[in-house]
Amino acid sequence: MRILQIHCYKFSYEVRKETPVAEQPPNPRKEDLNDVLVCFICYEKNDENREDEIAEKFLQNLKIDVGRIKCKRLLLYPYAHLSNNLGSPKRAKTFLNSLRDRLLETGIEVYKSPFGWYKEFTLSCIGHPLAEAYREY
């Protein structure tokens, strides 16, 4: 799994067009969030059958990251563009939903954009030293 994390003053998206693997129905169709850590997530073929291990490592690192930047709002944003070795879309959808559910249990305010949709997005990155991070699991 590859993740590009960006701490944003503001982040908004709106669903535009579905792909053949799109979640139905897209929920929500649009979102406007302030002070949010956006996690652009790419599920890869190597992640298959390692979901629990990857989720646990991600959760451990995320707790450290949100503690350092003092952000309690998180957006999971499926983003296939971080790899050319994508995993099964069906497994990716299940994994992201499971990840959202596990994060909700930690007390972090969690949002997830719809999987498999082309989305228009706007972001305003906070320019501090920890505002941008890239992670591989």
> CATH number of the domain that 36 lies in?
3.50.80.10
pLDDT at 107: 85
pLDDT at 118 over 90: yes
What is the DSSP track for the chain?
-EEEEEEEEEEEEEEEEE-TT--SS-SSSEEEEEEEEEEEEE-BGGGTT-HHHHHHHHHHHHHHHHHHHT--EEEEEE-GGG-SSB--HHHHHHHHHHHHHHHHTTT-EEEEPPTTEEEEEEEEE--STTSEEEEE-
Number of domains in the chain: 1
Domain that holds residue 52: 2-136
For the segment 60-80, the average pLDDT, to the nearest whole number, is 95
pLDDT digits (tens, 9 = 90+) for 1-46: 999 999 999 999 999 999 999 999 999 999 999 999 999 999 999 9
